[in-house]
Each structure stands twice: as structure tokens, then as C-alpha cells.
Structure 1
């Protein structure tokens, strides 16, 4: 019995030494001696045994570190997380960075009781499929070869928070973050951070919560990125051969602006009569993954808006892109839009679109294995540091 206990202590020491070795680039970025000790201890608590990964139970399992020290490190210590975030992107790029890889934008909900934890409010949680009292984090994942590495998690503040300065001050929300920002705006800030660090990826992916924003898609294009994103089935689109004309008015002033020579229709209508084909994009644990897909070249109706002769306000056609539809075995239909090259095959489009689901695996692992949703503090700094760890 004594020898077994001794062997267990040796193994425990060995894996913690291995962890500190792996963390060395991060510890260099932390600098301060005490923080260099706290960081491995906190992460050891997250990846070690025990169901609950909040500060108190982690401290109780770590004989060499007390609760006050661990809590101070994550919630109150004066240190900048930006250097660690930079190292995280660099290490992720070393592991999975690939010109053929993906940068996946999504969000994940952390269910919470009460109203005092930063960002908590009744809001739609895509991971739950319903409105719930929760915190919502915009996530950024670098992925290749079906391996995801989360490189960013940023809290979204709903209106009930950004309209209440006192509430934000109590939760220690930084002044520069005490403004109303959409999830696509937060995502673009994170994408710029990842690009600036030099991470390699070939295509940005996002669901319709981001892809339905014309300004988000345009921002990706402006940065020279390839992208494939979800789209509302109700989004109006034009055929790719739509032309812009200057109709001659029978009376009144001459028109100042051109108008499309065809009417836009919804994405659903545009693909309804297309030929849908069964496409397999990869092999899963239960065999080949297949769905019905259809695609055609279109121009999304999200350009500048003009008032028509019949007094309707109509959005002009944007750049030419792929519109892709997916019909699942459940009968559910999904729609996507992508600026992949015009010669992209249907299988290439399907495989790119479906690569986004790898981030759901990362979300699940962060919650089930590493306690992402176990943090019990209320502050902005504490939540983001916990997520970073």
C-alpha cells in the first residue's frame, strides 16, 4: 500500500513537471515569479481529477496552493493577459496552423443563475437551442485535420448590461468594453488579433448568426480572406447574371441611380428548383457522412438601398458568391454563402461548410473536461482569465 502511494506521488510529480515544461513559453510571457507558480497550479486544477473546476475545489485538491492565492491570481491580480493570448495563438499555429486549415467563429453559452455575474441575462443560446439565463462567449478556433484548438473567448454584453453603467462598473468591465457591440463586431476584432499574430489558415467559417451580417462578410472580404458562412433562408439574392440598368421614366425627373433588371428572391426559393445531389464530405465514426446539397452562383441583396418607382426600398446586388443549400435526413434545411472560387466543386463547398462543426467538439471538451462553465466569480477579468487558462 505504501509503495503504491509512493508510486502515485512520483507519477503526479512527473506529469506536473511535464506540464510546466510545456507551459514554459506562457510562463516567460507572465514574467512575475509568483504568477509563474500560479499559472501551472490553476491549469493543473483544470486538467486534473475532480468534477468541479471552480477555484475552491481546485484549491482544496492542490496541497501546495491555497484558495486565496489561486483566487487572487485569476480574479484580482494585476497582470496583462494579452502576452499570454499572443503565445496561445502562436502555439496553436505551431500545432495546427495550415494554409488549408480553418478559423472557425461561433459562440457558446454558459448557463448561470442570478443576475450579478458579468454579462448574465436571458438571451438566445445556440448551443442550447433556446433562450436561457446565461453568459454568451464569442469563440475563435484554429483547426486543421479535424483537430480544433480554441484561441479566443470574448464575452458578449447584451443591452441590459451596456445600458447600465453602474452594473458594468461593479463587474469591472473595462471602459473600452462598456459599449454595445454585436457578436460579428467582437468576432472581427478577434480575427484581426489572430491575423496580426501570424496564424495560418485558409478559410474563415461561421454560422448564420454571423454570416447573415453583410458587413461581417464584407469585412472578411476586405481582409483578403476566403469564407463560408451560414445564411438565413429568407435572405434575398439575385441570379449571378443580374444586370444594372437605367430605366427611362415616362414622366418626372430622370433616374439618378441604376436598378437591377431582375427581382431578388429568397435563398430558399433560389435553390428550390436546383438539382440536389448526395454528397459525402468525410468518414465519421459511424461511416461516411452524407447529405443532399445544391449550389449556384448568386449575388446577395445586401448592397446599398434604393427606393423603387413603386416606393419599395430594395437592396442592390453585392459581389458574386456561391449560395449553397443543405437538406438533412431530418428534413431540416440550411443555407450558406461562400466566396470560394467559381470553379469550386459541390463536394469542396460541402466539405468546407461542414468543417465548422469541429468547434462544437472544442466547446464540449472545454465544458465537460476543463470546467469552462464552472467559474463562480462575477468579474469581467476573472471570467476571461479563467477562459484563457
Structure 2
């Protein structure tokens, strides 16, 4: 089938997509790319269990998948403007002082040996060590509305130490320099702030939070943050003092030894906190919190660190008996409920990862190249943003804007260390329960009457919120 006929046949299934994509088309350059990008997105948004090139081309009625392959994998054009436009559109949808930027990673199981970045490492999708690709993800979210804005491949040492292997996979030379996931995340954060992304708090799990360099990087950017840590993180009391050196000592030393986070919190009172309503009732756990100074300052002797900045140490005691530990530089007057709500807001990124994989085919890409993987990831993020646009369009049609309600559980904060670009000052307050995410708009019934659009949109949305289109 000719390209024009294929697009005409599928245009009714995603009516409005071309209009919404206009800002992306404006920065895409050549007409051929402006033609193939909407078609690739229709392939991702359409029905079918597999969203790799050949099945998508077949469902779109194309005679082959070569042109789709060229569009998605060609290094001849720069997709940076598309990532910047995605950040602008995400900011328009859910950005603002009540938004949070969630840093995490997501794994794509892959048994191949030539696909870029594949190595034996922890795979969250399988819950164990396995061959996979690991992507550092950044998600802008407000309440229960996440929009992925960054996916960047982490290259394990097995790749960065093999220049020939990287060259065969088309890895750009700057990307072959070994970098930790935290360093990648900070670099992506800089990119997003340069694009004008606005948010109030950065959230991350212990995979990032254990790194003092990562936390210091957030501080250097003037950002508020809440991150997971391990139970044996060294902690000083908030009133610790540095005493002058004695004897042969050359540096001031703390007047007491640090303790492990677990031990510090064990002495406190743990109180039950509810941070938001869930589909099966209120979400709650017991929390303890205290102001402390982290043991991540300069080394003063015997590989021991001086006290760092004054922060919150927070413990979570779940109903299962499991305990989790966190650090946050939210202001000292932040309430326990606001602290816990901010910390728990991180989980919204898991919903975004699930939709990207299960509904939009993030993990279905079968190419081997660096460019192909990142561009496919970009297109899945754009498709996800479009679906969130549809949901919020109905939200606003019923008379509520994106900022009428605070994020579910996320604490708004004030007086950041420095006023970073794209970073808002807001007042400290306890959150109110967020209203449910709206169902798909009935007004789109005619545009979404085809089976393909209805199926994909219903499956992408939270089943508890779906209103089937008759």
C-alpha cells in the first residue's frame, strides 16, 4: 500500500495527532521526516502485541519496513530538537512548582550480544541479574500524571572498555567515556533545565541517593530533593561540632562519632502517616523523621568524612515489616506528612515505565544501534505525552486546570539553596488528596471510533479510570 493511503487509513484512528505534533514537525527539518514520524507514532499507538518495525509496518499496510528503519536509526539527523520540544510539551502538561522530576532506571531484557549496552546487570523487570540494557529515566509528574522526558542508555564497563565494540554499535565518542548512572542523570537534568522544564523537587531511589556526589550535584544546582539511602549510611547529630586539632592531628575533627541511619531512627517515635488515597483504600505506613547532618563532608582521616549539610533523615516502616531510609533537603519546617508524601510520589514513574513497555513497545525495539534505541525511546515518550494530553484535555474541559490540585502527596517547598533555572519557590504546605485522573473524553468518540484507537487508549489508561467508548 502506498504511504499516502496508509496514512489516510490510520488518520481517523488518531485524529488530532497531526495537530498536536505540529511543534515537533516544525523542528524536524526535512519533509520526509515530517512524514514518517507521525506514521511511526501511529504504529506505536495502534493495536498489536508487538511494536517492532516489521509488525508495525505490516499493520500500517506498508510494503516493507525499510523506510521506517531508516527514519528511526539514521544518524544523519539530529533528534535533539525533538527531545527539547518534548520537554516543552511535558512542561505545558504537568510542569510547575507542584511537579516533581523522578530519576530512576528501567531495564530492557535482551539476550543478544551485539545490541548496544547489553550486559549482565541487575534487571528490574526480571528481579535478578540478567542480560539487559539499562536506561536512566527522567519523568516529570504531577499527582498521578507522569510524562517521561528522558531515557538515556547506561554503558557498562564491558562496553566502555571496548572501543571497537562501541564503534560497531554507533556509540558517539563522547558517550564511550565511563559514566555512572548518577552522572548521566545529572547531565540529563541539565539538558531538561536548559529546555525550560519546571519542577519543585527531584526524587530518586537508593540506587542514586547512596552517592554523595549525586546529592552534592543536586545541591550545586540549587534543587530540592528527596532520595533513598541504605540503612548503614553514616549520620551525625544535627548539633555536632568541629573541635580544633590536638596532638599530631592537622585538621579539625567532629566531637562525636557518626552512627548508622538505622540506629539513629530506631530511638525515635514512629507515627502512621497517610499520604494519599489508593484504589484499595488509603495508602499509609509508619514514618520517623529527624534533622541530621550526613557523613559525606570532606575526608578528615582514616577514610572518615566530616559532617555534611543539615538535612532530613526519614524512615519508613511498611506493613510488611520492611524498613526504608531516605534523606531530603526539604526545609526544616516541612511536616512529617509532607515529607512522606514527597518521598512516596516517586512511585508514579513505575506507571510510566509500565505504559512505555506494555502499551507503547519501549522494549520491543530489535535494532542494535545507539541511535536506533534512543530514537525509538524518544518516539515512545512522545506517544505517551500525546496520550496524557488527551487525558488532561478532558480534565480542563470539565473546568479543572493542571495546577488546581497539588500533587498527590508531594510537598511544595520554599527557599531553595539557589534559584536554579526552571526551579520554582513555593510555600510549604500539607498536601490535599488529589482528584482522580479523568477518563478519556466523550467528545473524542467520533475521532476514536475505530477499533485500533479505542483498544490502545483503553489499555494504556489505568483500568480503574477507563470509561469505555460505546
- TM bucket by the smaller chain? over 0.9
Question: Which of 179-188 and 117-126 deviates more?
Answer: 117-126
Given that 2:108 and 2:125 are in contact with CA atoms closer than 8 Å, whether structure 1 keeps it comes out as: no
* Structure 2 residue aligned with 1:130: 128
Check if 1:318 corresponds to 2:312.
no
Correspondence 1:140-159 to 2 at 5 A? 140-159=138-157
State TM-score, norm by structure 2. Answer: 0.78
Work out which of the residue numbers 218, 231, 238 in structure 1 matches 2:229. 231
SS at match of 2:275: strand
State TM-score, norm by structure 1. Answer: 0.93
Superposed CA deviations along residues 331-359 of structure 1, whole A, max 9, x for unmatched, are 11110000000011110000000000000
Distance in 2, matches of 1:145 and 1:297, equals 27
Distance in 2, matches of 1:280 and 1:65, equals 55
Superposed CA deviations along residues 162-186 of structure 1, whole A, max 9, x for unmatched, are 0111110100000110111000000
User: Could you list the runs of 5+ residues in structure 2 that have no partner in the other structure?
Assistant: 1-6, 380-470
Distance in 1, matches of 2:332 and 2:161, equals 45
* Structure 2 residue aligned with 1:3: none
Decide whether aligned partners of structure 1 residues 265 and 362 sit closer, same or farther in structure 2, where only a CA change above 3 A counts: same
User: Could you list the runs of 5+ residues in structure 1 that have no partner in the other structure?
Assistant: 1-8
Distance in 2, matches of 1:305 and 1:13, equals 62
Distance in 1, matches of 2:280 and 2:164, equals 52
Check if 1:14 corresponds to 2:8.
no
Check if 1:327 corresponds to 2:345.
no
Given that 1:231 and 1:336 are in contact with CA atoms closer than 8 Å, whether structure 2 keeps it comes out as: yes
Work out which of the residue numbers 176, 180, 183 in structure 1 matches 2:181. 183
Given that 2:10 and 2:42 are in contact with CA atoms closer than 8 Å, whether structure 1 keeps it comes out as: no
* Structure 1 residue aligned with 2:295: 301
* Structure 1 residue aligned with 2:28: 30
Distance in 1, matches of 2:326 and 2:125, equals 19
Distance in 1, matches of 2:114 and 2:75, equals 21
The alpha carbon displacement at 1:127 in A equals 4.4
Given that 2:151 and 2:377 are in contact with CA atoms closer than 8 Å, whether structure 1 keeps it comes out as: yes
Question: Which of 12-21 and 364-373 deviates more?
Answer: 12-21
Distance in 2, matches of 1:65 and 1:279, equals 58
The alpha carbon displacement at 1:150 in A equals 0.1
Work out which of the residue numbers 182, 190, 202 in structure 2 matches 1:204. 202
Given that 2:72 and 2:376 are in contact with CA atoms closer than 8 Å, whether structure 1 keeps it comes out as: yes
The alpha carbon displacement at 1:247 in A equals 4.5
Decide whether aligned partners of structure 1 residues 68 and 225 sit closer, same or farther in structure 2, where only a CA change above 3 A counts: same
SS at match of 1:205: strand
Higher relative contact order (CA 8 A, sep 6+): 2
Distance in 2, matches of 1:98 and 1:11, equals 38
Question: Which of 36-45 and 71-80 deviates more?
Answer: 71-80
Decide whether aligned partners of structure 1 residues 40 and 262 sit closer, same or farther in structure 2, where only a CA change above 3 A counts: same
Tell me the number of residue pairs that the alignment of Structure 1 and Structure 2 aligns.
Answer: 373
* Structure 1 residue aligned with 2:259: 265
Given that 1:26 and 1:87 are in contact with CA atoms closer than 8 Å, whether structure 2 keeps it comes out as: yes
Distance in 2, matches of 1:10 and 1:314, equals 67
Q: Which runs of 4+ in 1 moved over 6 A?
A: none
Given that 2:75 and 2:371 are in contact with CA atoms closer than 8 Å, whether structure 1 keeps it comes out as: no
Superposed CA deviations along residues 101-143 of structure 1, whole A, max 9, x for unmatched, are 1000000000001211000000012443321110000000000
The alpha carbon displacement at 1:65 in A equals 6.6
Give RMSD over aligned pairs. Answer: 1.4
Distance in 2, matches of 1:299 and 1:17, equals 55
Question: Which of 10-19 and 188-197 deviates more?
Answer: 10-19
